[in-house]
Every structure is written in structure tokens, then in C-alpha cells.
């Protein structure tokens, strides 16, 4: 037999779950939800996403930590800030885009997918060869 307290708790948890689901669905349905400033997992880079000249999605490095800048210089990249990291992403479903990611310390671009997992997180993956040997990172929105 369910007590009043248990019934109230169950009702409250249902409302919270519905609210989170609705918030996440709204975030991934809005085409501009991925536009903004995002930080890599280590907090050493910030990328501003927005439309490219051709209407696809791009992302440019707008801030880099001193260590990230030193690592880039060691890899032969004089100026990390201003580098276009995300290139030519096109929508391929709700909350998902496909394009290319530039890896500065390798000096190469790879096929990539961005999946928005919540209003504040992106999962960005890059693959070496035809969708194999992939690596992904979770990036967080910067306020």
C-alpha cells in the first residue's frame, strides 16, 4: 500500500523526468541550439560555433590556455586562436551534424559527427578512416 508521502514523491519524480525530457528535446530540436561557445573536456580551448559562409556549421577557436598555445607552437602552428576547428557540418537528424574536425597538433582534418546530448553538452567524434578508429569528446557550453 502506497503512503501519501510515496505517492507525492512518485508524482514529483515524474514531473522532474518529464521536465528534463522536454528540455532536452527542445534543445536538440532547435536548429540554433548548437550555436554558442563550447569548451573542450580539459578546459584548454573554447570554440565559438556559428554558420559558415555556405550555411553549414563551423567552429573557430576563440580562446586557448597558455599550455594549449605552447603545444600548438611545438606542432608548428603559430596562432591557435582563430583556427577553424569545426568545418562544414550539416544536419543529419535531430541534434546531429556531420562534417570535418581539424586536429591542430596533427595538422589534419577528419570526418566527424557532432551529437548534442543536452542543452549544455556536445559529443564530438572524429574518425581516421571511413568511420573506423574513432575518438570522441564531450564538450560543455560556456556561459
Q: Which three cell numbers stand for residue 59?
A: 567552429
Q: Write the CATH number for 92.
A: 2.40.128.520
Indicate the helix (H) or strand (E) that contains 12: helix 4-29
Q: How far, in Å, CA of 46 to CA of 26, rounded?
A: 24
Residue among 125, 120, 127 nearest 137 (CA): 125
Distance CA(79)–CA(62), nearest Å, equals 11
In a domain? residue 1: no
pTM over the 0.85 mark? no
pLDDT 10s digits, 26-76:
334 455 689 999 999 999 999 999 999 999 999 999 999 999 999 889 888
Residue 23 lies in a domain: no
Binned at pLDDT 50, 70 and 90, residue 105 comes out as confident
Q: Examine residue 124 and state whether it is found in any structural domain, yes or no.
A: yes
Residue 114 lies in a domain: yes
pLDDT at position 30, please? Answer: 57
Q: Residue 75 has which C-alpha cell?
A: 606542432
Domain around 62: 31-141
Quick check: is 78 in a domain? yes
Residue 116 falls within a domain, yes or no?
yes
The answer to whether residue 15 sits within a structural domain is: no
Is residue 102 within 8 Å of residue 83, measured between CB atoms?
yes
Q: Which residues contact 86 (CB under 8 A, 6 or more apart)?
A: 47, 49, 57, 58, 59, 99, 100, 101, 102, 112, 114, 124
Question: Is the CB of residue 68 less than 8 Å from the CB of residue 45?
Answer: yes
Structural domain count of the chain: 1
Q: Is 22 part of a structural domain of the chain?
A: no
What is the C-alpha to C-alpha distance for residues 38 and 86, in angstroms, rounded to an integer? 12
Amino acid at each position: 500500500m502506497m503512503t501519501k508521502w510515496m505517492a507525492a514523491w512518485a508524482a514529483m519524480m515524474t514531473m522532474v523526468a518529464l521536465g528534463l525530457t522536454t528540455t532536452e528535446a527542445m534543445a536538440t530540436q532547435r536548429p540554433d541550439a548548437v550555436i554558442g561557445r563550447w569548451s573542450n573536456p580539459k578546459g584548454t580551448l573554447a570554440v565559438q560555433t556559428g554558420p559558415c559562409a555556405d550555411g553549414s556549421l563551423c567552429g573557430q577557436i576563440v580562446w586557448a590556455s597558455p599550455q594549449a598555445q605552447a603545444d600548438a607552437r611545438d606542432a608548428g602552428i603559430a596562432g591557435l586562436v582563430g583556427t577553424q576547428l569545426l568545418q562544414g557540418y550539416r544536419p543529419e537528424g535531430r541534434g546531429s551534424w556531420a562534417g570535418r574536425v581539424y586536429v591542430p597538433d596533427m595538422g589534419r582534418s577528419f570526418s566527424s559527427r557532432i551529437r548534442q546530448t543536452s542543452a549544455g553538452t556536445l559529443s564530438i567524434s572524429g574518425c581516421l578512416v571511413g568511420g573506423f578508429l574513432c575518438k570522441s569528446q564531450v564538450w560543455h557550453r560556456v556561459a
